[in-house]
Amino acid sequence: MVKITYHGHACIELNDGKYDIIFDPFITGNPVTKTNPDNLKPNAILISHGHADHLGDAINISKKTGALIIAPFELADFCQKHGAPNIHPMHIGGSYNFEFGKVKLTLALHGSAFVTPDGTHYTGNPCGYIIHFGGKCFYFAGDTGLFGDMKTIGSLNAIDVAFLPIGDNFTMGPDDAAKAAEMLQAKTVIPIHYNTWPLIEQDPEKFKEKLKAAGINCIIIPFNNSIEI
Ligand code: NI
Ligand code: MN
């Protein structure tokens, strides 16, 4: 059994009863989350890219709890230079067996930088993640546009759950995400990265209907809610 908690935007927490891992912990400043970042005690934090709505509270949580930060090399280095005590740099195509499960970094078509008033700090390439956790295989696409290699990712991995952005504007919208779902052949698709702000407003129910018509199972987790699979 894996408990999946959706903190809104792209922040997904997985818990198998022994380990707790969290993707893209954008909590502070996230208008749709009710989560108190002080209550998060993950073993590992997986970050897809350096944009503020993904890096989020990662460094502070890592400082407070000692949680391991897993990220593309340049972003992991950025986190370390900003005080993260515990990092594991990786890069696209590479995998590693952590005690909680096997992690592989996948391609994502997007940017990666941390932007502050004094400039733009590039943090390498963005990524997605294939992770084997609690006996299940998860694909966290990160922020990405549709790309044909999703078909390869699907053929190399029996994906139980795929987390796909549907917000459009910065990432895939619902039509491309539906095409992605088809290529990935995931057993279940969970939409993310929508309705945080008006710019990425979408109706997840319409996305679910679209997937249903294609014979693909879709679960919508309301913000601040959990499911078990
Ligand atoms: Ni982004
Ligand atoms: Mn984003």
pLDDT digits (tens, 9 = 90+) for 204-227: 999 999 999 999 999 999 999 999
Q: Is 153 left (phi over 0), alpha (psi -120 to 50) or beta?
A: alpha
Ligand 1 center to 113 CA (angstroms): 8
Mean pLDDT of all residues belonging to the chain: 98
Ligand 2 center to 219 CA (angstroms): 21
Model pLDDT, residue 23: 99
Ligand 2 center to 111 CA (angstroms): 10
Place 89 in a pLDDT band, splitting at 50, 70 and 90: very high
Ligand 1 center to 53 CA (angstroms): 7
Ligand with minimal distance to 192 CA: 2
Ligand 1 center to 85 CA (angstroms): 24
Model pLDDT, residue 116: 87
Ligand with minimal distance to 50 CA: 1
Q: Which domains does the chain have, with CATH numbers?
A: 3-228 (3.60.15.10)
Span 131-155, average pLDDT: 98
Ligand with minimal distance to 49 CA: 1
pTM: 0.98
Span 11-37, average pLDDT: 98
Give per-residue pLDDT as tens, 168-191: 999 999 999 999 999 999 999 999
Model pLDDT, residue 118: 87
Ligand 1 center to 1 CA (angstroms): 30
Angle at which helix 58-65 crosses helix 73-81, to 10 degrees, equals 60
Helix (H, G, I), strand (E, B) or coil at 169: coil
Span 71-95, average pLDDT: 98
Give per-residue pLDDT as tens, 27-66: 999 999 999 999 999 999 999 999 999 999 999 999 999 9
Helix (H, G, I), strand (E, B) or coil at 81: helix
Ligand 2 center to 97 CA (angstroms): 27
Query: Is the CA virtual torsion 223, 186, 15, 28 positive or negative?
Result: negative
Span 60-89, average pLDDT: 98
Burial class (CB in 10 A: 0-12, 13-18, 19+), 111: middle
Query: Is the CA virtual torsion 195, 227, 180, 147 positive or negative?
Result: positive
Give per-residue pLDDT as tens, 114-136: 998 889 999 999 999 999 999 99
Instruction: Give the environment of ion ligand 1: residues with CB less than 5 A.
Output: 51, 143
